[in-house]
Amino acid sequence: MEGLKFVLVFVLLALASSLTFASDPSPLQDFCVAINETDGVFVNGKFCKDPKFVSEKDFFFPGLNIPRNTSNPVGSTVTPVNVVQIPGLNTLGISLVRIDYAPYGGLNPPHTHPRATEVLFVMEGTLYVGFVTSNPENRLITKVLNPGDVFVFPVGLIHFQFNVGKTNAVAFAGLSSQNPGVITIGNAVFGSEPPINPDVLTKAFQVDKSVVNFLQKQFWWDNN
């Protein structure tokens, strides 16, 4: 009986540990450079290149210093550097983005990263940023950031950045996943394919159905 209790306690502790560290798992090798072929070892959703054929190109991405075009409906552009751009990030649990904001209201719209916490660093400009806590509080936590400031957006929470300055703004962000994912709230709710039944959205948002129909007819810009 004592032996059985020990086994049960060990299993519970192991499960608790796995939940505590629920994110991209730690790698069991130096690297696992991602490839599109299916003749490698399947790890974290990507097959691994034979280490003998790995080169510096698998760990490199150029040009993140180049300003991006923000002439679009939301006035911002996100340049991702994740496992798609750098195959060597596979299994390493980290990625990066550059975000460019147009002056006078460039916006990275409310969105979530289902698989990552984000740490934002402002390089240029002035940004009003914030996130909303989960139900039932739905508390809005905001801050105005200036060059050199850092702000954290916890994993899965809706967050945004808005340029309140008169000049272009630039920020860089690290994310705790090789593939953090992004769900832009307006795009997902009103721009899904096929569309969500308007009756669902009418009741959910407590608005007239004509408002929902109008929103579903809009073009929802993807700045990623």
> Within a 13 Å sphere around the CA of 153, how many CA atoms are in the beta-carbon half?
28
Please write the tens of the pLDDT for every residue from 83-122: 999 999 998 999 999 999 999 999 999 999 999 999 999 9
As to burial, measured by CB atoms within 10 angstroms (0-12 exposed, 13-18 middle, 19+ buried), residue 40 is: middle
Q: What does the alpha-carbon distance between residue 66 and residue 76 come to, in Å, rounded to a whole number? A: 14
Residue 111: phi and psi, rounded to 5, are -155, 170
Of residues 105 and 221, more confidence is placed in 105
Q: What is the pLDDT of residue 45?
A: 63
Please write the tens of the pLDDT for every residue from 174-187: 999 999 999 999 99
Q: What is the pLDDT of residue 47?
A: 82
Beta-carbon contacts of 92 under 8 Å, excluding residues fewer than 6 positions away, are 24, 27, 31, 178
Which range, of 28-32, 111-115, 215-219, averages the lowest pLDDT? 28-32
What predicted TM-score, i.e. pTM, was given to this entire model? 0.84
DSSP string of 32-83? --EES-SSS-EETTEEEPPGGG--GGGG----TTSPPP--STTSEEEEEEST
SS3 state of residue 6: helix
